[in-house]
Amino acid sequence: MPKITLNNVTVSDAYMALLADRGIDYWFANAGTDFSPVIETLAKAQVLETKTPTPVTCPHENTAMHMAIGYFLVTGRMQAVMVHVNVGTANGMNGLLNAARGNVPILFTAGRTPINEGGLVGHRSLDIHWTQEMFDQAGMLRGTAKWDYELRNGQQLETVVDRALSVAMSEPMGPVYLSLPREVLSATMSEFTYDSPTRQNAAAPPYPNGNAVDEVVALLAGAENPLIITNSAGRNPEVWQALSDFAERYAIPVVQYRNRYMSIPSNHPMNLGYDLKPLLEVADVILAIDVAVPWLPATDKVREDAKVIHMGADPLHSYVPVRGHPCDIGLTCASHAGLRVLNEAMAEHESAAKGRIEKRRAALAKRWQELRDGWRKRLEKVMSETPLHPAWVTHCIDEIKGDDTIVIKESPLMPQFINFSRPGTMLNAGAASGLGHGLGCALGAKLAARDRLVIGTHGDGSYMFGNPIASHYVGVEQKLPVLSVIFNNQRWQAVRRAAVGLNPDGYAAKSKRQPVTFLDSVTKYEKAVEVADGYGEKVTDPAEMLPALERCLKAVTVEKRQAVLNVICSAP
Ligand SMILES: Cc1ncc(C[n+]2csc(CCOP(=O)(O)OP(=O)(O)O)c2C)c(N)n1
């Protein structure tokens, strides 16, 4: 097997060379005193022109983690992040939770405070080297990361790094954690030899069980009102075509319920919208693809006799302690592979089910049209409202974007009013709803696709969670001109809605200003981007929405500056 040998290197030098060899393009970093050996490695690599991942300075860990997620969502490639010991790990946890629940493979690494009080190179030299030590640094994330370990020495470097990468990239994908003590990284090796390419590859994606497939297609072929529910299926761009073909051929409606990606085109004849209830109530066979929560058991009606099939790399979503949704059949597979298998297997029943399929197709076509007529009327009704209605803001974003534009969602963006015709063009990095994911995700997406327009959409609360100054800093340093639209309803509406929902006749419901839900002391967010030489504007008049977007677009595409459009919105 081909091997590469490095002579007279530190473990840190070898580590960085190995990451580059394994296809890690960037290294998103928020540094501390634990980074000293790696900073030496990177400085040496600049002089000697050896290969390392390109470092990206991220002034907050939230930015680093979500840039890694955004970059992965566009490229499908493994990512690496390094943060400062336990405190950086704690700050990165929000992103780690989003990565874990969103099946994003990240090598999340942190320095480990030096273990020795003297003697070894890299030993403790500051007071914090005692106060940052923990009995078990990885303990705080052991319920979240897929795998964790602390590097003990340079001899095990290749095994440990490759183990981490292959575990993270195997389905169901997820982040892994490696802590890197300063003495271990500082140690020198007269020789370091490694396989190139690696011999520890990620496992091939799982294929569905044949007997279970037979049962599923028999159920679907016999169904009067089958229903497909998706939520995160579109994370894998290969699902797009596979699902479009399958749903269309057998006339099975798709509802994208609280979807974080698009799994079929907006205008696909089987795209029956985003409101689950009407089709769920009548469904006799439900196929939930990559959906942890296909409905809310306490409020949504499901037929007693409905058969429920869950499909995905982990169809039981085993990371959730309590989840009682029925599972008549669980199909463990990569969803695109599963859909292709179902498409072929169902052919056996196609002619027998023809009459039912065509009758359903005609009924769904009518429903499809009615839905869109309703959406159009709703838009016409609200388009002139002040403060601006989120439907109008969404529609205007649709007007200026292209087919290839990547839209990041961390906002009340309404999918009914925006058209996505290509896979991977709507991304939501917040699988665990750890807010502050949008700004970083947009930067990561732009880094991965510099020639494409990236539009971030954020709530005002979410914008602040995203550490805007840190994010705009990276935007200017890395030359990533992203357009950010803030749906500024001057509150945490989701929090307010939940409080009113819990006590509909309570004091909070009657209050005009519920405590801990309003954010109206600052409204000039457009100024924040100016610290990074960006272009900022505020919109209060619905007639100004499109012209303002056009000006922001010019700033981003022609002047290559970041832009922030602060839109004063309602919270319907
Ligand atoms: C890190 C984190 N902290 C707190 C929350 C709780 N939370 C959920 S939604 C929400 C409000 C978000 O406000 P905004 O982005 O303005 O959107 P809006 O709800 O107003 O549409 C909050 C605080 C969270 N999900 N994540």
> pLDDT, tens digit, for every residue of 317-360?
999 999 999 999 999 999 999 999 999 999 999 999 999 999 99
Q: In the chain, what percentage of residues exceed pLDDT 70? A: 100
Report the SS3 class of residue 548: helix
Residues 6+ apart with CB under 8 A from 487: 390, 393, 411, 412, 413, 457, 458, 459, 460, 567, 569
* pLDDT recorded at residue 520: 94
Q: Give the residue, out of 101, 413, 495, 521, with the most ligand 1 atoms within 8 A of its beta carbon, to mutate for a pocket test.
A: 495
Mean pLDDT across 367-380: 98
CA 159 – ligand 1 centroid, Å: 41
Q: Which atom of ligand 1 is nearest to the CA of 488?
A: 16
* pLDDT recorded at residue 333: 97
Q: In the chain, what percentage of residues exceed pLDDT 90? A: 98
Mean pLDDT across 30-34: 95
| Widest Cα–Cα separation across the chain | 81
Instruction: Round the average pLDDT of the chain to a whole number and report it.
Output: 97
CB under 8 A, 24+ apart: contacts of 362-366: 364/251, 364/253, 364/269, 364/270, 364/272, 365/269
Mean pLDDT across 262-271: 98
Q: Whose CA is nearest to atom 4 of ligand 1?
A: 435
CA 388 – ligand 1 centroid, Å: 20
Compute the C-alpha angle 123/151/194, nearest 5°: 115
Tell me, using a 6 A CB cutoff, whether residue 495 lines ligand 1. yes
Residue 279 CA from chain centroid, whole number: 27
CA 67 – ligand 1 centroid, Å: 20
Tens digit of each residue's pLDDT (9 = 90 or more) over 215-235: 999 999 999 999 999 999 999
Q: Give the residue, out of 484, 490, 492, 521, with the most ligand 1 atoms within 8 A of its beta carbon, to mutate for a pocket test.
A: 492
CA 552 – ligand 1 centroid, Å: 26
Q: Whose CA is nearest to atom 9 of ligand 1?
A: 494
Q: Which atom of ligand 1 is nearest to the CA of 489?
A: 20
* pLDDT recorded at residue 509: 95
CA 412 – ligand 1 centroid, Å: 11
Mean pLDDT across 557-561: 98
* pLDDT recorded at residue 115: 87
Q: How confident is the model at residue 470 (pLDDT cuts 50, 70, 90)?
A: very high
454 forms beta bridges with 406
| 553: its two tokens | 């677009």
Q: Give the residue, out of 61, 96, 428, 435, with the most ligand 1 atoms within 8 A of its beta carbon, to mutate for a pocket test.
A: 435
Q: Which atom of ligand 1 is nearest to the CA of 458?
A: 15
Tell me, using a 6 A CB cutoff, whether residue 562 lines ligand 1. no
Calpha distance 445→174 (Å, rounded): 18
Tens digit of each residue's pLDDT (9 = 90 or more) over 384-403: 999 999 999 999 999 999 99
Residues 6+ apart with CB under 8 A from 494: none
Mean pLDDT across 351-376: 97
Q: Does residue 1 register a pLDDT over 90? A: no
Q: What single letter denotes the amino acid at residue 248?
A: E
In total, the chain counts a number of residues equal to 572
Tell me, using a 6 A CB cutoff, whether residue 438 lines ligand 1. no
Residues 6+ apart with CB under 8 A from 497: none
CA 495 – ligand 1 centroid, Å: 7
Burial 397-408 (b: 16+ CB within 10 A, else e): bbebbeeebbbb
User: Could you tell me the pTM of the whole model?
Assistant: 0.98
The DSSP 8-state label assigned to residue 450 in this structure reads: T
Q: Give the residue, out of 393, 414, 463, 493, with the most ligand 1 atoms within 8 A of its beta carbon, to mutate for a pocket test.
A: 493
Q: Whose CA is nearest to atom 23 of ligand 1?
A: 492
Report the SS3 class of residue 36: helix
Calpha distance 472→534 (Å, rounded): 8
The more confident residue out of 120 and 262 is: 262
CA 180 – ligand 1 centroid, Å: 34
Report CA Rg, the chain: 25
The torsion angles phi and psi of 251, rounded to 5 degrees, stand at 50, 60
Tens digit of each residue's pLDDT (9 = 90 or more) over 402-412: 999 999 999 99
Instruction: State which H helix or E strand residue 407 sits in.
Output: strand 406-410
Tell me, using a 6 A CB cutoff, whether residue 62 lines ligand 1. no
Mean pLDDT across 4-16: 98
Mean pLDDT across 367-381: 98
Tell me, using a 6 A CB cutoff, whether residue 390 lines ligand 1. no
Q: Does residue 177 register a pLDDT over 90? A: yes
